[in-house]
Homo-oligomer: A and B are copies of this chain.
């Protein structure tokens, strides 16, 4: 994995891909699927996300204040759905679905080796957890896999329907 400057992190999340979120708590690592996230600040990169209290990851996230956001490309779509349809209460999802946890530098939750990007995060604001299960994360370190060229991400439209990245267009713009 190659380090990505923090100033470029928003370019990964702003397009709205389905992501994986990993946690580590009481000696167990876990991974969930997430689509409700957005950028909040460019740099340091702040990310808002909504994690249901029904998710096994929720308690781990709150207790440890750490997670990794891992971004899967299209080839991982089937695994992403399996991760979303099962609970870390019942199984070790990394082992069951053949995902490889690797150590990051700043937080305990693992990166996902198969993902083309991994963002090490800490929870920085829980003031809207009670009302909306909304957390603010700061990205501390970002990694991309140079071996995955032009990865196509997937975007969830509900009930297992995903749209994959298609054509890229470049328009003259002064919008960052």
Chain A positions near chain B (C-beta within 8 angstroms)? 8, 10-11, 14-17, 33, 35-41, 46, 48-50, 77-78, 81, 84-85, 125, 127-128, 131-132, 134, 136, 152, 154-176
Contacts and interface: CB of A to CB of B under 8 A. Distances in A.
A85 B156 CA distance: 29
A166 to B, nearest CB: 2
Given A156-B15, A175-B81, A175-B159, A40 B33 contact: no
Given A50-B39, A81-B171, A163-B166, A155 B157 contact: no
A59 to B, nearest CB: 20
A40 to B, nearest CB: 5
